[in-house]
Structure 1
Amino acid sequence: MYSGGVSTAERLIESTRALLWERGYVGTSPKAILERAGAGQGSMYHHFKGKPDLALAAIRRTAEEMRATAEGVLGGPGTPYERIAAYLRRERDVLRGCPVGRLTMDPGVSASDELRAPVDETLDWLRGRIAGIVEEGQRQGEFAPGLDAAEVAAAVVATVQGGYVLARASGSPAAFDAGVRGLLALLAP
């Protein structure tokens, strides 16, 4: 699975990221991490203090990746509405769910302030970034001045995260797509 040039610590982080997305924190055992990483039994404890420390590194990396992906779209070309629409319509593996959003429902993550922090920070950043775009659109006359930018941003994030849940429940991305179309219709200039 990994080439010889990838460090053991890197393999452990990437394996943990994948397992957290697939199984969550509670369902990810150190043994599964080591097997997926192709690492020896003492490797985790050589590079990390234990499963929580390794999970924190993996969650931080996933959160950073999500921010970079979102910023690539939200900071791209177009009007504020077009950038929000591009974010909502960007390519996603809808049936797998959001690797950050799914962690909010994991009891092992929600019970730990340290593990939950990068998740909260990322969702806060996303809401703030979208609110800034809405405010930009208000200044340009694209969005109604009476809109509450923070509430619109919360609705955008809720549409995406709720869309993942509805799509997974139905086994089809159609529910996600319907939520996106509905929100965009409400936001249309």
Structure 2
Amino acid sequence: MPRADGTTRDHLIESTRELLWERGYTATSPRAILDRAGAGQGSMYHHFTGKEDLAAAAMRDTAQQLLARTETDLAGDGSALERLKAYLLRQREVLRGCPVGRMTGDAEVLGSAVLQHVVAATFDELRGRIVAVICDGMDNDEFDGSVQPAELADTVLAVVQGGYVLARAAGDPAPFDRAVRGAVAMLEHTRKKDVR
């Protein structure tokens, strides 16, 4: 039975987003999507060409939400360091993992040019936003001149994604928390000594 609010297409996308985060692409069947969405059997093929097309729409929606949350942290008030700290220390559902990063562990996602592109483009956009903040910090003499913005941005992304993996493996968010606090300490060391 379709939900009363929104469109069937919206329900299919939202249900797919949830299932991809919970199960991954390979383990998410069209039947599970239809059941979660409360949609009829032909609904998916009325709105999408198939599972891959629906998953791409859901992953793009997830990416937009992730980028919007990141933009809130990185475009906020404060110094570049404060904005990077806001991104790193933001409250997350750590034990669920990153809804985009988790897709890299799914061979069928990496084997699909369409789905792999969504994942890669999302990380490219994240990297670009972090690089912009680091460059802003360099322009304002916050960071030591030896800082390489792209390298530092990849390090920040790697800490967050690796933190998710460590926390999920331990069944405890503590490794994630230690990793991001370590990244904050590392960023503190890149500051120019006369910047407070």
What SS does structure 1 have at the residue aligned with 2:4?
Answer: coil
**8 Å contact from structure 2 (residues 59, 118) kept in 1:** yes
Q: Distance in 2 between matches of 1:134 and 1:99?
A: 25
Q: Distance in 1 between matches of 2:112 and 2:183?
A: 33
Residues 29-73 of structure 1 show CA distances to partners (whole Å, capped at 9, x for unaligned) of 000000000111111111111111111110110111111110111
Quote the offset at 1:2 in angstroms.
7.3
2:171 matched to which residue of 1?
Answer: 171
2:146 matched to which residue of 1?
Answer: 146
1:46 matched to which residue of 2?
Answer: 46
Q: Distance in 2 between matches of 1:126 and 1:47?
A: 29
Instruction: Give the letter aligned to residue 60 of structure 1.
Output: R
**8 Å contact from structure 2 (residues 81, 187) kept in 1:** yes
Q: Distance in 2 between matches of 1:56 and 1:129?
A: 22
**8 Å contact from structure 2 (residues 16, 55) kept in 1:** yes
Q: Distance in 2 between matches of 1:19 and 1:156?
A: 27
Moved over 4 A (4+): none
What SS does structure 1 have at the residue aligned with 2:98?
Answer: coil
What SS does structure 2 have at the residue aligned with 1:25?
Answer: coil
TM-score by length of 1: 0.97
1:99 matched to which residue of 2?
Answer: 99
Quote the offset at 1:5 in angstroms.
2.2
Percent sequence identity over matched residues?
A: 56
Question: What is the aligned length?
Answer: 189
Q: Distance in 2 between matches of 1:186 and 1:64?
A: 28
Unaligned runs of 5+ in 2: 192-196
Unaligned runs of 5+ in 1: none
Matches within 5 A, 1:111-150: 111-150=111-150
Q: Distance in 2 between matches of 1:96 and 1:86?
A: 20
Residues 166-189 of structure 1 show CA distances to partners (whole Å, capped at 9, x for unaligned) of 000111111001011111111113
Instruction: Give the letter aligned to residue 185 of structure 1.
Output: A
2:78 matched to which residue of 1?
Answer: 78
**8 Å contact from structure 2 (residues 34, 41) kept in 1:** yes
Matches within 5 A, 1:21-40: 21-40=21-40
Residues 126-185 of structure 1 show CA distances to partners (whole Å, capped at 9, x for unaligned) of 111111111111121211111101000000000000000000011111100101111111
